[in-house]
């Protein structure tokens, strides 16, 4: 893509997009050009449709499809200034699925199976504070506020928020710090960015699942799901959970009300009310 790639990269930086989003959008823009063996500047809606259909036929995940669609939309709307090429393309609907949730026992078994101190600390942080994988990898030592028991998080869209710092996590991080002495990054590594990478953390997570004999289909994001669901089950208000997770909309957070077994178990069916004094409200 040459000059066009450089211009798109500049537009992404000017727009304040995170480094990970920049990499993803640029990757799919290059892949789109390779697929047709032409510059995106020479193509339009028909080529975009063909590329998106190819991704669907290859059964890519909804998340991957969303990234492809968003990357091409940015390319044509912002960099090429030809929004007409993408404005009529429908966005593929996500099939409604409830996330599988780890039980508390499974979380304990999972964490206990990670022998590497640093990666165990990463996974504990993700579950203990409800962090996304990239948010945990990007943490710096100064983001851990032990006086106020908070974790400062740089979330999606460079939005800052605070989440809780569990005492057990703080104790573990102190032991980790005494042994590893991290400086610039809380979880350093010999990588391009200088800290642990999401792909490596995902690999550790999958290995831990097998070691803990957990057969559920899970991802590292399941730790964040577990954090929210378990808070809801212990009575924490859903609007508080929304703030801790950094969700813009409460609608995003309410998915956890559908998977909270503790709450479902406390609901009484109207069948059980028939013939009782409480049934008066039913008429």
Instruction: Name the CATH architecture for the domain at 104-264.
Output: Orthogonal Bundle (1.10)
Does the pLDDT of residue 159 top 90, yes or no? no
Q: Which of 132, 195, 225, 230 is catalytic?
A: 132
- pLDDT tens digit string along 232-254? 888 888 888 888 898 888 777 77
- Is 156 catalytic? The answer is yes
**Overall average pLDDT of the 129-142 stretch:** 94
- Is 221 catalytic? The answer is yes
**Total-model pTM:** 0.68
State residue 180's pLDDT score: 92
* Fold agreement between 3-85 and 104-264: no
State residue 269's pLDDT score: 56
Cβ pair 131, 144 in contact under 8 A: no
The matching CATH number, chosen from 1.10.150.130, 2.40.30.160, 2.60.40.3470, 3.40.50.300, for 3-85 is 1.10.150.130
**Overall average pLDDT of the 205-210 stretch:** 96
Cα-atom radius of gyration of the chain, to the nearest Å?
23
Q: Which of 5, 156, 161, 263 is catalytic?
A: 156
Percent of the chain, pLDDT > 70?
Answer: 89
Residues whose CB falls within 8 Å of the CB of residue 262, separated by 6 or more in sequence, listed in order: 232, 233, 234
Q: Which of 55, 73, 120, 224 is catalytic?
A: 224
Task: Give the residue from 167, 169, 136, 141 showing the smallest Cα distance to 153.
Answer: 136
What is the SS3 assignment for 162? strand
pLDDT band at 12 (very low <50, low <70, confident <90, very high): very high
Q: Which of 55, 73, 225, 247 is catalytic?
A: 247
State residue 283's pLDDT score: 52
Q: What share of the chain is helix, strand, coil (3-state, %, to 5)?
A: 60, 5, 35
Please measure the distance between the N-terminal and C-terminal CA atoms of the chain and give it in whole angstroms: 70
- Is 224 catalytic? The answer is yes
Residue predicted with more confidence, 254 or 163: 163
What is the SS3 assignment for 186? coil
State residue 272's pLDDT score: 58
Where exactly are the structural domains of the chain? Answer: 3-85, 104-264
- pLDDT tens digit string along 41-94? 999 999 999 999 999 898 888 888 999 999 999 999 999 999 999 998 888 776
């Amino acid at each position: 893509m040459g000059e066009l790639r450089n211009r798109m990269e500049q537009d992404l930086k000017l727009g304040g997009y995170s480094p990970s989003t920049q990499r993803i959008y640029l990757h799919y823009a290059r892949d789109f050009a390779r697929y047709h063996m032409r510059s995106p500047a020479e193509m339009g809606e028909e080529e975009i449709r063909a590329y998106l259909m190819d991704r669907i036929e290859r059964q890519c995940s909804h998340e991957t499809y969303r990234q492809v669609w968003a990357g091409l939309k940015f390319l044509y709307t912002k960099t090429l200034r030809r929004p007409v090429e993408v404005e009529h393309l429908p966005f593929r609907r996500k099939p409604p699925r409830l996330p599988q949730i780890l039980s508390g026992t499974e979380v304990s078994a999972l964490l206990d199976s990670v022998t590497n101190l640093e990666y165990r600390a990463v996974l504990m942080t993700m579950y203990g504070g409800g962090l996304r994988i990239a948010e945990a990898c990007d943490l710096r030592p100064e983001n851990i506020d032990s006086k106020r028991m908070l974790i400062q998080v740089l979330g999606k869209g460079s939005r800052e928020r605070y989440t809780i710092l569990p005492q057990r996590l703080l104790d573990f991080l102190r032991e980790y710090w005494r042994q590893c002495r991290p400086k610039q990054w809380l979880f350093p590594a010999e990588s391009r960015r200088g800290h642990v990478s999401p792909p490596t953390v995902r690999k550790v997570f999958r290995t831990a699942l097998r070691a803990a004999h957990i057969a559920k289909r899970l991802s590292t994001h399941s730790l964040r799901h577990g954090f929210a669901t378990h808070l809801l089950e212990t009575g924490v208000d859903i609007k508080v959970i929304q703030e801790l997770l950094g969700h813009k909309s409460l609608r995003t957070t309410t998915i956890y009300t559908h998977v909270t077994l503790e709450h479902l178990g406390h609901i009484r069916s109207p069948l059980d009310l028939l013939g009782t004094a409480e049934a008066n409200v039913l008429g």
